[in-house]
Amino acid sequence: MGQLLEHALMVPPLRRGVDVDAWVALDLMRSVRAAFVEHDWAETTAGVAEGGTWILAVRGRAYRVQTDFGALRYHRGDYAVGSGSDWAEGSLHTTRDLDWTVDQRVTAALEAAAHCSTTVQGPFDLITQERT
């Protein structure tokens, strides 16, 4: 999925004066759906295309993209996807007010998910990208 998004997605321009949330929900998700369908990534049932669940970051905002291409923006700021996401989000919630680094919180969340779910397993690699 990541390579498809990187190489096949035609990102529409964010027009001046358009709200970022509206652009993501209307313009970007339309383009994502089209790329998924065109490159046989989406599953289509009864004419309805579905993709995967993933996290998207745009201009300092994070969204959880659902299989129906809905982009949800949580105001609490903690995101996780996959089979261990409930346990990871619980861990992120309980460590929010601790004096831990982001890497410490994410590692604890991954370890909680691995402990509670048979489909999550380490080792885990954390990759950080500086904001541009």
- Render pLDDT for 3-21 as a digit per residue (tens, 0 to 9): 888 899 999 999 899 999 9
Q: Tokens 């299989």 appear where?
A: 67
pLDDT in tens, 107-130: 999 999 999 999 999 999 988 767
Q: Is 19 helix (H, G, I), strand (E, B) or coil?
A: coil
d(CA 27, CA 80): 24
Phi-psi region at 46: left, alpha or beta (left = phi > 0; alpha = psi -120 to 50): left
Q: Is 16 helix (H, G, I), strand (E, B) or coil?
A: coil
Counts of helices then strands in the chain (DSSP H, E): 5, 5
Alpha carbons within 13 angstroms on the beta-carbon side of residue 79 total 18
pTM of the model: 0.76
d(CA 109, CA 100): 12
Q: Which sign, positive or negative, has the C-alpha torsion 91, 92, 93, 95? A: positive
Residue 89 per-residue DSSP state: H
Judge whether residue 92 has pLDDT over 80: yes
d(CA 110, CA 23): 31
Residue predicted with more confidence, 85 or 76: 85
